[in-house]
Amino acid sequence: MLNKLEFLEEKYRELSEQIGNPEIISDTQRWQKLVKEHSHIEPIVLKYREYKESEAQLGEAKEMLKDKLEDEFKEMVKEEIKELAESIVQIEDELKKLLIPKDPNDDKNVIVEIRAGVGGDEAGLFAGNLFRMYSMYAERKRWKLEMMSVSDQGIGGFKEVIFMIKGKGAYSRLKFESGGHRVQRVPDTESSGRIHTSSATVAVLPEVDDIDIEIAPNEVRVDVFRSSGNGGQSVNTTDSAVRLTHIPTGIVISCQDEKSQLKNKDKAFKILKARLYDKYQQEQNEETAAQRKDQIGSGDRSQRIRTYNYPQGRVSDHRINLTLYKLEAFLNGDLDEMIDALITSSQAEQMKNIEN
């Protein structure tokens, strides 16, 4: 751990010099990246310097005990040694937490994609329940929700719904929601009272800045077409809908909810950038799969992460074996207890790796 801290302190010195270099300041994108890295490691370096200062004071106090001291003064030095030793232990714990790799996306807005899975109309209704749940959670956090793309099923649910949640720390709180969600309940259409199991998938993607990912213009085909479905007077009368095809990956994004072609294009590009960024992250994660297989934040979309059981009024997260008997409150946006437990579990795993 100390070797890593020494490396970070030296890196901090180098970055401090670089961000003050006029040549680098003139390159805005490079300067922004360096400033971000500098601010990221600054708390660790400052805490490490506090640790070294306390260690030095402890060494000086121990040296003083070797001298001939009056009993009263000797007791004062012993008390100081005890306090410094306790302080150093506390600082070490704080350094371990600070050394947990900070997800660079934690402070970002998120794009959430919910898709109906197995279960027909009931799966679409469940997708609608999940959308309402996250909407209410965003409202509790005073975050702003913006619709990006909607494909409804006509009976109150969604085949697919994509929306953005804007708020500081949104990704840090919602990133563990990615995966398969399962519901067990008696559908309104089931006359015999038999419990059905349906599913939906959730993908939580960080909003991507231009400095995070670049898309060459010749890599994207842009098609425009007339909107369909519910909407204002311009629906079916203007080519306002936009479809983007990313040629290298085959990813296709369609947006038609806005009356403005420009707004639809802007939203489509935001979704495309987020998906591409997520794709590249997933590929990097696969390279270190052996290290990540037990970590909560693997983001595997195929992993069934949670079950919502209506008859028993419970919600169970299978990654951390936590069951809460407060399903109604949970579906009304009371997610913090579950999210806090997921974050704590993830941090505990990462601290084990640091200690080892």
Where along the chain do its domains lie?
2-99, 110-211+297-355, 217-285
CATH topology of domain 110-211+297-355: Alpha-Beta Plaits (3.30.70)
CATH for 217-285 is 3.30.160.20
Tell me whether domains 110-211+297-355 and 217-285 share a fold. Answer: no
pTM of the model: 0.69
Higher-pLDDT residue of 110 and 346 is 110
The whole-number average pLDDT for the span 299-320 is 87
- Position 212 scores a pLDDT of 66
Contacts of 164 (CB under 8 A, 6+ apart): 109, 110, 111, 112, 145, 146, 148, 207, 270
Of 323, 211, 352, nearest to 277 by C-alpha is 211
* Range 74-81, long-range pairs (CB < 8 A, 24+ positions): none
Residue 226, SS3 per DSSP: coil
- Position 38 scores a pLDDT of 93
Share of the chain above pLDDT 90, in %: 55
- Position 154 scores a pLDDT of 74
The whole-number average pLDDT for the span 240-246 is 90
Of 182, 177, 212, nearest to 200 by C-alpha is 182
pLDDT band at 293 (very low <50, low <70, confident <90, very high): very low
Q: Spell out where the chain has E strands.
A: 110-116, 144-152, 158-166, 179-185, 196-206, 220-225, 241-246, 251-255, 304-309, 314-317, 322-324
Residue with tokens 């997921």: 342
Question: Is residue 148 predicted with pLDDT exceeding 70?
Answer: yes
